[in-house]
Amino acid sequence: MNTPQKKVFVSWPGYSTSDPETGKRLADAGYDVVLRPKFGARSAQELEAMLDGAVAAIVSTDPFSRVVIEAQQNLKVIARVGVGTDSIDLAAASQQKILVTITPGLNADTVAEHTFALMLALIRKVVDQDTLVKSGRWERVGEFTPGELAGRTVGLLGAGTIGRKVIDRLSGFGVKILFFDPIVRQAGPATRIDSLPEILRISDILSLHLPLTAETRLIIGAREMEEMKSTALLINTSRGPLIDQAALFSALRKGSLAGAALDVFEEEPPPTATVRDVPNLICSPHLAGLSRESIRRMTVSATDSVLAVLSGQIPPTAINAQAVTNL
């Protein structure tokens, strides 16, 4: 067992105790850095055992349920590498006076670039053509002939920081850009659409850039897919449960949607049988926000946040500061 008040639990893969900008700073400050990288599913019970009296945690998508949080007697801060906190019970953390921090804005460009890459890969049939060439087939016309992005209507659900970055990248490609967001009134050259059904009906490409909340969960279900064009493409680099995944895969198999690209899934990683042989589907392993550069920025920020909290400060990255009155 680690010395009380000295353990910092880290689940972010690749975090190093010898890195002078991250782990070494914690070690030099007298903390025992315990690395338990998260590469797949992890239960709340497993997480609770791993935390084992930690005063701070630098984490991935670990399941910080109410039970896990209430079992922590020493924990002062959960530093999420990224911005999604749907795996953390924020109400429980606040009640326990545990600060939750994020790394806002540090991977927005990265997500936008990946979104754009998926969009072009679908339209240009990059994955299909790669598979064909490697199997000895040279099919330049016919079923696998690619299309063009120019001239299409691209709809975005959500026009926050990442959505606006996507809009910036789209603006030079000769497309009509629309967005639906109940809060945002203007987003550069994009046209605001007042209703979800309308943007579903007119978009050739629909890209999701929403947080996962009670209101946004399953915002795209079977009924919404029926309102979309049969030639439409759907892209999700936000959170898996925004989409009814079974309904999406059914639509792709029936041909009532032309294609989809998913970086996020209902269950991560998704069971192989779930995604195997789904036509016109491109998958990536929840890495839209990850690059060598963004990981460096985010892990340094998370380390900054932990050191600040452990020295009695409330960093600007804290999202529940108002609930914590006495560190």
Question: Is residue 124 located within the same domain as residue 49?
Answer: no
Q: Are strands 77-80 and 56-59 parallel, antiparallel or unpaired?
A: parallel
DSSP states of 160-206: SHHHHHHHHHHTTTT-EEEEE-SS---BTTBEE-S-HHHHHHH-SEE
Question: Is residue 315 located within the same domain as residue 175?
Answer: no
Question: Is residue 47 located within the same domain as residue 62?
Answer: yes
Confirm whether 135 is domain-assigned.
Answer: yes
Q: From CA 308, how far away is CA 169, in angstroms rounded?
A: 35
Confirm whether 248 is domain-assigned.
Answer: yes
What confidence tens digit (pLDDT) does each residue in 138-149 have? 999 999 999 999
Question: Is residue 117 located within the same domain as residue 61?
Answer: no
What confidence tens digit (pLDDT) does each residue in 190-229 have? 999 999 999 999 999 999 999 999 999 999 999 999 999 9
Confirm whether 238 is domain-assigned.
Answer: yes
Q: Catalytic residue positions?
A: 239, 268, 286
Q: What angle do CA 79, 80, 85 make, to 5 degrees?
A: 125
Confirm whether 141 is domain-assigned.
Answer: yes
Q: From CA 172, how far away is CA 263, in angstroms rounded?
A: 24
Confirm whether 46 is domain-assigned.
Answer: yes
Neighbours of 310 (CB within 10 A): 19
Contact present, 176 and 200 (Cβ < 8 Å): no
* Cis upstream peptide for 269 (omega within 30°): yes
Question: Is residue 102 located within the same domain as residue 139?
Answer: no
Contact present, 264 and 237 (Cβ < 8 Å): yes
pLDDT at position 49 is: 96
Question: Is residue 268 located within the same domain as residue 155?
Answer: yes
The counts of H helices and E strands in the chain are 12, 12
Q: What is the DSSP letter of 217?
A: T
Cβ-in-10-Å burial (0-12, 13-18, 19+) of 4 comes to: exposed
Confirm whether 1 is domain-assigned.
Answer: no
Residue stretches of the chain with pLDDT short of 50: 1-3, 327
pLDDT at position 323 is: 80
Question: Is residue 159 located within the same domain as residue 303?
Answer: no
Contact present, 80 and 103 (Cβ < 8 Å): yes
pLDDT at position 327 is: 46
pLDDT at position 325 is: 64
Q: From CA 158, how far away is CA 127, in angstroms rounded?
A: 27
pLDDT at position 210 is: 96
Confirm whether 2 is domain-assigned.
Answer: no
Question: Is residue 53 located within the same domain as residue 195?
Answer: no
* Of 22, 45, 42, nearest in space to 33 by CA: 22
Q: What is the span of the domain harbouring residue 42?
A: 7-106+292-323
Question: Is residue 78 located within the same domain as residue 156?
Answer: no
CATH number at residue 115: 3.40.50.720
Question: Is residue 262 located within the same domain as residue 301?
Answer: no
Confirm whether 114 is domain-assigned.
Answer: yes
- Amino acid (1-letter code) at residue 36: R
Q: How many domains does the chain have?
A: 2
Question: Is residue 142 located within the same domain as residue 77?
Answer: no
The token duo for 277 is: 């042989």
Q: Which residue has the tokens 């939750």?
A: 100
Question: Is residue 113 located within the same domain as residue 228?
Answer: yes
Query: What is the value of pTM for the model shown?
Result: 0.90
